[in-house]
Amino acid sequence: MSAPPDLSALREEALAAVAAARDLAALEEARVRHLGRRSPLAELLGSIGTLPPEQRGPVGKEGNAARRAVEQALTTRREALEAEEMGARLAAERVDVTLPGDPWPSGSLHPLTQVRREVEEIFLGMGYRIADGPEVETTYHNFTALNTPEGHPAWSLADTFFVEGRDDVILRAQTSPVQVRVMESTPPPVYVIAPGTVYRRDDVDATHSPMFHQVEGFAVDEGLSLAHLKGTLLAFMRELFGRDREIRLIPHFFPFTEPSVDVSVSWTDRHGNTGWLEVAGAGMVDPNVFRAVGYDPERWTGFAFGFGLDRIVMVRHGIPDIRLLFEGDLRFLEQFS
Ligand code: PHE
């Protein structure tokens, strides 16, 4: 006849293991060892039927009490360890929300785009609309329809980029072909500006680039005169450069305007010297251009002008070299953000 198993020793051993567990993994190990299916306590409770009858009651009662006590201790210890681990994690992952953030680089518009938009706003305010045309253009639109017949020096290979293998397709040398395209597709009156990129075989130096930008402007209506051209350009220059500006028109020649003028704006440099700065070509639309696009030159008159946008940006910001505008150097561009 065997002695009753020493339940209180099993119970003390289990409680001691629970108390000694330093983390949740060790606690789980203790649970399996002391309460699991193969633990001495479980085996004992499972074999009560083999005990002498008079021991079954007391051993069963004490065994169940021991199991409940160990379960209770496990729960309490688990809650304590969980709280400890959470505290440690919170401390380790603490974020100081009052620290300044990492700066996020932000881009800005190119100075050419900024000034182009300003120019567009001014003309939109005067009732103009904005038109566009292809940069790969026909010689018809760039020259012939603009009263510039074949053989005129402007056609020369030395000035114009021709598309290889073609004698009738070029990179447009001016924005004036947009005049032709708009008038071909729109009945008068028209008030239009056309900003865009143009190409010429210019020598590359500080003031010339083979690719640059122009803004074309033209108006066709009944009774337009050179006075309207001058008033429009004066209003524009004052809006862009300041109320105190004056403009000056000097006779010039362009094939597609008659009369033609060079337009200068008054200028004061940073030493206080005043002078005139040539900024645009302009004139009254030649009747031959109206004939080419099917407008009646007896009824309609108009003016046109074209200026270099890059030049205006350079003057505006005191930029000495046009190439700076096209190099994409951030040290330059960031000065305009
Ligand atoms: N297209 C001319 C140029 O590139 C400028 C101009 C435009 C002159 C419109 C008169 C009228 O030089």
The predicted structure's pLDDT at residue 4: 58
Q: Which domain holds residue 87?
A: 7-92
| Ligand 1 midpoint to CA 233 (Å) | 14
DSSP-assigned states of every residue in 188-209:
SPEEEEEEEEEE-----BTTB-
Convert the pLDDT of each residue in 124-178 to its tens digit: 999 999 999 999 999 999 999 999 999 888 888 778 999 999 999 999 999 999 9
| Residue 30 falls inside a structural domain | yes
How far is the C-alpha of 147 from the C-alpha of 159, rounded, in Å?
A: 18
Q: Is 252 helix (H, G, I), strand (E, B) or coil?
A: strand
Q: Which atom of ligand 1 is nearest to the CA of 198?
A: 4
Query: Tell me, what CATH number does 188's domain have?
Result: 3.30.930.10
Instruction: Verify that 47 and 134 share a domain, yes or no.
Output: no
Convert the pLDDT of each residue in 148-160 to its tens digit: 999 888 888 778 9
Question: With bands split at pLDDT 50, 70 and 90, how would you rate the model's confidence at 243?
Answer: very high
Residues lining ligand 1, CB < 6 A? 174, 176, 216, 254, 257, 281-283, 304-306
CB within 8 A of 261, min separation 6: which ones? 226, 229, 249, 250, 251, 252, 281, 282, 283
| Ligand 1 midpoint to CA 163 (Å) | 22
Instruction: Verify that 177 and 83 share a domain, yes or no.
Output: no
Q: Does the pLDDT at position 3 exceed 90? A: no
| Ligand 1 midpoint to CA 316 (Å) | 21
Question: With bands split at pLDDT 50, 70 and 90, how would you rate the model's confidence at 233?
Answer: very high
Average pLDDT over residues 319-336: 93
Q: Does the pLDDT at position 90 exceed 50? A: yes
Question: With bands split at pLDDT 50, 70 and 90, how would you rate the model's confidence at 111?
Answer: very high
Residue type, 80: A
The predicted structure's pLDDT at residue 153: 86
Contact (CB, 8 A) for 241 and 118: no
Residue nearest atom 9 in ligand 1 by C-alpha distance: 305
Q: How many domains does the chain have?
A: 2
| Residue 278 falls inside a structural domain | yes
Q: Does the pLDDT at position 277 exceed 60? A: yes
Average pLDDT over residues 205-222: 93
Instruction: Verify that 29 and 78 share a domain, yes or no.
Output: yes
Average pLDDT over residues 36-61: 89
